[in-house]
Amino acid sequence: MTLTLFPIRLFFAAFMMLLAWPFAFIAAIGRTGKELEKPMTWWIWTLDILLKAIMRTMWFAGGFHWVTVKGRQALPAEAPILTLAPHSSYFDAIPVTMTMASIVMKAESKDIPVWGTLINFIRPVFVSRSDQDSRKKTVEEIRRRALSNGIWPQVMIFPEGTCTNRSCLITFKPGAFIPAVPVQPVVLRYPNKMDTITWTWQGPGAMKILWLTLCQFHNYVEIEFLPIYTPSEEEKKNPALYAFNVRRVMAKALDVSVTDYTFEDCQLALAEGQLRLPSDTSLLEFARLVRSLGLKPEKLEKELKQFSESAKKRKGKTINLKEFAEYLSVPVTEKLEDLFALFDENEEGAIDLREYVIALSVVCRPSKTLDTIQLAFEMYESENDRTIVEEDLAVILKTALGVSELNVVDLFKAIDEEEQGKLTFGDFDRFAAMNPNFAEDYIYPKIADFETCLDSPSSDAPNGFCTDFTPDNMEETQYHNDKKKTN
């Protein structure tokens, strides 16, 4: 197929894309600045039909001979927003080209030759990474279009925000649900015997996916338009609840489970650093619970120093659940109790705030291991000589890895060459510089059956995405680990 079918398909697919470019370019003439925001005119709709035909021919040339469509696509006035899942590949652009709905894309995409012109035709909502207020502006623009009473084309959104392997639906981002208008869920299926579609971290790269797919004689794809979902008054006030309930409907249609983990949690699991997280780490659960409380670790990094100073002043004095709630400025809820239980190993009703700060530091900056260790040393070190003892090191590393037990005897002895029974961060830093693989040599062998998601993805899962994110018992909102087991 590489010598016969592949080059032919690649040529015709590229040709159809180039053929579409002049039509999209003509449509884009004069549509700049404020004029770009005007609703489509009749002649634009004519070009719209022509471009749909060209793009469908392009997909046909690529092996997508039949696209099975189930259900009826709602009119823009009925459901201004289409939510698609699961998002697993750049081939998910098929429903975009079939409907010519607007999409949310990064602003840099409009500068890509040929492809950028085609993207501009559907007038996407652009997100700029350089603009700090871009996310807010994006939500406002989606809301404006959604409330246009059908004047604007529908906005098509992939609420997962990243590619997964379709074994579950991860947490939906709230952007599509903030406008509080009816949405139409759309589910995608690729029922091929050989999966050449999925494009994630641990699977084949983008070019290999393209090569394998074009070499496959026929590629099946199913697009199912589910009934319109109209939010209740409670869901209109709570976008997270609205997103969750829509995800539940889509998961049922796909016959897959759901997981409350997010794209950011997967980044945490796969982060590269001197301390890789084990597969049974409780830090993934910690990150999930922190976000469920309305706290965003990504925005808390700047406040880590302040948190550590506050924890240091307590000098190891523990706090109860009520004090912990006051510290986080959140009410006492079941989710807060679960978060508290992660650090209350002995179920004494009290925790050391320093452990929470260490875990938060790992979640905020998973690749900056030594920064977290330095922060921890500053909280645990004695005031006289700024040193810690072996017991302190065990607590620091145990919390940073999210495990219940950890033997650091050999590591401590290796660092404490003069057998003083205490260490400074300088001692630890120098040892880490001279022994970059110290974790593998001194820590991980002590953890029974240690393995990471990166080392051992399940053989049953499609390309990439850890199956640790999709436990069998994680159905809907009922994912609550037994506290003792989690500890």
Residue 248 has pLDDT above 60, yes or no: yes
31 or 481: which carries more pLDDT confidence?
A: 31
* pLDDT on residue 162: 84
The secondary element (H helix, E strand) that includes residue 81 is strand 81-85
Residue 482 has pLDDT above 50, yes or no: no
Taking the CA atoms of 70, 90, 253 and 185 in sequence, report the sign of the dihedral they define.
Answer: negative
* pLDDT on residue 329: 86
Question: Which pLDDT band holds residue 461 (cuts at 50, 70, 90)?
Answer: very low
306 or 460: which carries more pLDDT confidence?
A: 306
353-382 average pLDDT score = 88
Residue 80 has pLDDT above 90, yes or no: yes
Residue 285 has pLDDT above 60, yes or no: yes
CA distances from 243 to 158, 161, 402 (A): 12, 13, 29
Strand order, beta sheet including 155-157 = 67-70, 221-225, 183-189, 81-85, 155-157, 102-106, 125-127
Question: Which pLDDT band holds residue 454 (cuts at 50, 70, 90)?
Answer: very low
Measured between alpha carbons, how far is 291 from 138 in angstroms, rounded to an integer? 21
304-327 average pLDDT score = 86
**Of 195-209, 254-268, 465-479, highest mean pLDDT:** 195-209
6-17 average pLDDT score = 94
Residue 401 has pLDDT above 90, yes or no: no
- For 478-481, the CB contacts below 8 A with 24+ separation are 479/259, 479/260, 480/338, 481/285, 481/338
Domain boundaries, the chain: 5-261, 271-452
Measured between alpha carbons, how far is 166 from 169 in angstroms, rounded to an integer? 7
Q: How many of the other CB atoms lie within 10 Å of CB of 133?
A: 9
**Mean residue pLDDT across the chain:** 82
Residues 199-246: tens digit of each pLDDT: 876 778 889 999 999 999 999 999 999 999 999 999 999 998 999 999
* Mean pLDDT lowest among 30-39, 189-198, 265-274: 30-39
Adjacent-strand bridge partners of 362:
none
> Are the beta carbons of 125 and 103 closer than 8 angstroms?
yes
CA distances from 156 to 70, 124, 221 (A): 17, 9, 18
Adjacent-strand bridge partners of 156:
82, 103
* Mean pLDDT lowest among 78-92, 102-116, 304-318, 363-377: 102-116
224 or 287: which carries more pLDDT confidence?
A: 224
Indicate the angle between helix axes 353-364 and 390-401, nearest 10 degrees: 50
Rounded-to-10 torsion of CA 104, 106, 110, 114: -80
Measured between alpha carbons, how far is 313 from 354 in angstroms, rounded to an integer? 10
Residue 472 has pLDDT above 50, yes or no: no
> Are the beta carbons of 54 and 20 closer than 8 angstroms?
yes
111 or 188: which carries more pLDDT confidence?
A: 188
Indicate the angle between helix axes 304-313 and 353-364, nearest 10 degrees: 170
* Mean pLDDT lowest among 31-35, 353-357, 442-446: 31-35
Measured between alpha carbons, how far is 3 from 5 in angstroms, rounded to an integer? 7
* Mean pLDDT lowest among 44-58, 214-228, 289-303, 391-405: 289-303
* pLDDT on residue 115: 77
**Of 281-285, 288-292, 350-354, 472-476, highest mean pLDDT:** 350-354
Question: Which pLDDT band holds residue 33 (cuts at 50, 70, 90)?
Answer: very low
* pLDDT on residue 137: 83
Residue 484 has pLDDT above 60, yes or no: no
119-132 average pLDDT score = 75
Question: Which pLDDT band holds residue 190 (cuts at 50, 70, 90)?
Answer: very high
* pLDDT on residue 453: 43
90-113 average pLDDT score = 85
What percent of the chain clears pLDDT 70, i.e. is strictly above it?
85
Q: Are strands 221-225 and 257-258 parallel, antiparallel or unpaired?
A: unpaired
Cis preceding linkage at 191, omega within 30: no
Question: Which pLDDT band holds residue 447 (cuts at 50, 70, 90)?
Answer: low
What percent of the chain clears pLDDT 90, i.e. is strictly above it?
33
Radius of gyration of the chain (CA): 26
Q: How many of the other CB atoms lie within 10 Å of CB of 168?
A: 21
> Are the beta carbons of 406 and 392 closer than 8 angstroms?
no
319 DSSP assignment: B
3-state secondary structure of 168: strand
What are the DSSP E strand ranges found in 191-273?
221-225, 257-258
The secondary element (H helix, E strand) that includes residue 126 is strand 125-127
The distance from CA 51 to its chain's CA centroid, rounded to whole angstroms, is 32
Residue 303 has pLDDT above 60, yes or no: yes
* pLDDT on residue 463: 37
* Mean pLDDT lowest among 30-44, 291-305, 358-372, 473-487: 473-487
* pLDDT on residue 458: 35
* Mean pLDDT lowest among 126-135, 177-186, 291-300, 353-362: 126-135
User: Per the structure block, which two tokens stand in for 33?
Assistant: 């600045």
Residue 38 has pLDDT above 70, yes or no: no
Question: Which pLDDT band holds residue 30 (cuts at 50, 70, 90)?
Answer: low
